[in-house]
Amino acid sequence: MTATMANILDGNKIAAQIRSEVAEQVRALAAAGHLPGLAVILAGEDQASAIYVRSKIKACQEVGIHSEKITAPASVTTQELLAEVARLNQRDDIDGILVQLPLPAQVDSQHVLLAVDPEKDVDGFHPVNVGKLATQRPTLAPCTPAGVMEILLRNHIAIAGRRAVVVGRSQVVGRPMALMLLNHDATVTICHSKTRDLPDITRQADILVVAVGQAGLVRESWVKPGATVIDVGINRVTDQAKFEELFAGDAAREKTFAEKGSVVAGDVHPRVAEVAGAITPVPGGVGPLTIAMLLENTVKACRMRRGRR
């Protein structure tokens, strides 16, 4: 068997489709006098956060969404950020508010996130939106698991009646992912760091979603032959031994590692592609969908706020 046997689920292709659809919706809303607007709050000097925010603003510009970046110094207080969120909540031209994490250490992040109007919570993290997701009401859902659902649905992968296993229970991916799969009639098991006999459970999965932040955790022996494997992990591998364990013989990755001293790896070992029926690559799988779904949520927030469902 070779690693080319699994069907590669191309996230870049699906993200491009979604962006095109969003751009069309933005044009229609703008023609009706409702240009969708997104505000992103960036506090402090975290370089990775600055890069993420730039990419989000750029993506908004490409599809015609009005976007604003609100910056705050590393010394910002919780009260100052709460005041900024309150101002954005009141602005009718802003449909989505995104607070880029992490916030500076002295800021009460949960207090700030809870202050965002649930109707403008394009991250889908507010308890009101989590509750709506759990009770199958229209809502703004977390972007990464929503992107995973798009990968499954647009590749016509059967969900109803299938056994789905989610490895990871974070509020950002694992828990909402399980709810979305359950809402599509899968039989869902959630695994985490305290789960016993993890490989025995993952081997039962028709759909396996892995989001734990541990490079190459899931091996080929953990996966049912023919299963659909969704790798949400994005890990930077800098250790030579770990690199060789994951990518020995991969000439392109060896070249990158030699030049940069690191490569990006998922939570799923590359050899799982020899067993799976379909698999998302890292990079180029789930990652591109996260920003695409942020754009989708901004448009959705605009439509829902203005009664244009």
Q: What is the pLDDT of residue 5?
A: 76
State the DSSP string of 62-126: HHT-EEEEEEE-TT--HHHHHHHHHHHHH-TT--EEEEPSPPPTTS-HHHHHHHS-GGGBTT--S
**Known catalytic residue at 56:** yes
- Give the tens place of pLDDT for each residue, 170-228: 999 999 999 999 999 999 999 999 999 999 999 999 999 999 999 999 999 999 999 99
Structure-token pair, residue 204: 């039962």
CATH architecture group of domain 141-287: 3-Layer(aba) Sandwich (3.40)
> Could you say which of 100, 120, 121, 206 is catalytic?
100
Q: What is the mean pLDDT of residues 137-142?
A: 97
Q: What is the pLDDT of residue 137?
A: 96
| N-term to C-term CA, the chain | 48
Amino acid, single-letter form, for residue 155: N
Cβ atoms within 10 Å, residue 236: 11
- Give the tens place of pLDDT for each residue, 51-92: 999 999 999 999 999 999 999 999 999 999 999 999 999 999
CATH number among 3.30.428.10, 3.40.50.300, 3.40.50.10860, 3.30.360.10, domain 32-119:
3.40.50.10860
Q: What is the pLDDT of residue 259?
A: 95
Q: What's the half-sphere exposure (Cβ side, CA atoms, 13 Å) at 43?
A: 25
Angle, helices 287-305/143-154, rounded to nearest 10 degrees: 100
Q: What is the mean pLDDT of residues 121-140?
A: 97
- Give the tens place of pLDDT for each residue, 92-119: 999 999 999 999 999 999 999 999 999 9
Cβ atoms of 129 and 141 closer than 8 Å = yes
Q: What is the pLDDT of residue 1?
A: 38
Q: Which residues pair with 23 in a beta bridge?
A: none
Q: What is the pLDDT of residue 3?
A: 43
Share of the chain above pLDDT 90, in %: 97
Residue 293 has pLDDT above 50, yes or no: yes
> Could you say which of 121, 123, 206, 231 is catalytic?
123
Q: How does residue 24 score in pLDDT terms, banded at 50, 70 and 90? A: very high
Q: What does the domain layout of the chain look like in residue ranges?
A: 32-119, 141-287
- Give the tens place of pLDDT for each residue, 245-271: 999 999 999 999 999 999 999 999 999
The radius of gyration of the chain's CA atoms, rounded to the nearest angstrom, is 20
- pTM reported for the whole predicted model: 0.95
Share of the chain above pLDDT 70, in %: 98
Q: How does residue 2 score in pLDDT terms, banded at 50, 70 and 90? A: very low
Residue 308 has pLDDT above 90, yes or no: no
Q: Give CA–CA dist 113/58, Å, rounded.
A: 23
Residue-averaged pLDDT of the chain = 96
- Give the tens place of pLDDT for each residue, 235-244: 999 999 999 9
Q: What is the mean pLDDT of residues 127-153?
A: 97
State the DSSP string of the chain: --TTSSEE--HHHHHHHHHHHHHHHHHHHHHTT---EEEEEEES--HHHHHHHHHHHHHHHHHT-EEEEEEE-TT--HHHHHHHHHHHHH-TT--EEEEPSPPPTTS-HHHHHHHS-GGGBTT--SHHHHHHHHTT-S-PPPHHHHHHHHHHHHTT---TT-EEEEE---TTTHHHHHHHHHHTT-EEEEE-TT-SSHHHHHTT-SEEEE-SS-TT-B-GGGS-TT-EEEE---EEE--HHHHHHHHTT-HHHHHHHHHHS-EEE-SB-GGGGGT-SEE--SSSSSHHHHHHHHHHHHHHHHHHHTT--
> Could you say which of 56, 120, 224, 300 is catalytic?
56
**Nearest CA to 266 among 235, 297, 245?**
235
Asked whether this chain's domains 32-119 and 141-287 adopt the same fold, the reply is: yes
